[in-house]
A and B are shown apart, each in its own frame.
Chain A
Amino acid sequence: ETGVTQSPTHLIKTRGQQVTLRCSSQSGHNTVSWYQQALGQGPQFIFQYYREEENGRGNFPPRFSGLQFPNYSSELNVNALELDDSALYLCASSLDRRLYEQYFGPGTRLTVT
């Protein structure tokens, strides 16, 4: 059973650019949640996808968007990058939105210069 994987591990972008982060959920999981973890802070909820539909969104602007594919992998897209978008982006997968059995990936470290 493979765990949650994320790609890329690190990337550097310039302010104003766009970025796509990817997450492969654990086998059998149909729910993916995305979190932003700024340096020295706890993760903040961006949004959740359940069976390809958005199922809740945190306090993030519309330039943060996502997608979930039929195989339940997911993408996080961020447009018009700002310096404050620099953070570790975590995805977590679970079955049927079960928080108690939610598994996190190692994260993607995004640096915006």
Chain B
Amino acid sequence: GNSVTQMEGPVTLSEEAFLTINCTYTATGYPSLFWYVQYPGEGLQLLLKATKADDKGSNKGFEATYRKETTSFHLEKGSVQVSDSAVYFCALSEGGGSEKLVFGKGTKLTVNP
């Protein structure tokens, strides 16, 4: 079945450091890809998305590019802030009418001042 694999956490960075969180996927067909963020005590929020190969999703300084050849969707940010501390989830959509999301296990990011 379809699956998403994220790099193991936790990740600890200093403010203004460069962030990469790796995400690879296994899927039949052409899924859409997503990054969600979960701040402490809050629900999941959609951070960015890409719907087809070579699409780049971006939001709040975060970027990820849909790479079909490497089945990857790595999350990057050039300069992290303390407020970016959260758990980040990579996910893909399974179509076929059910429109469900398949999530990775999540990567906890802590940014220190």
Contacts and interface: CB of A to CB of B under 8 A. Distances in A.
B69 interface: no
Given A42-B89, A104-B45, A107-B43, A56 B105 contact: no
B22 interface: no
Contacts of B42: 106
B101 interface: yes
Categorize the interface residue count of chain A.
20 to 34
Categorize the interface residue count of chain B.
20 to 34
A40 B10 CA distance: 11
Given A43-B89, A55-B97, A99-B93, A90 B103 contact: no
* Interface of chain B, main secondary structure: strand
Nearest to B34: A99
B43 A42 contact: no
A48 B99 contact: yes
A95 to B, nearest CB: 12
Given A41-B106, A43-B89, A104 B43 contact: yes
B47 to A, nearest CB: 12
9 contacts: A41-B105, A42-B106, A48-B100, A90-B43, A99-B32, A99-B101, A104-B45, A105-B43, A106-B41
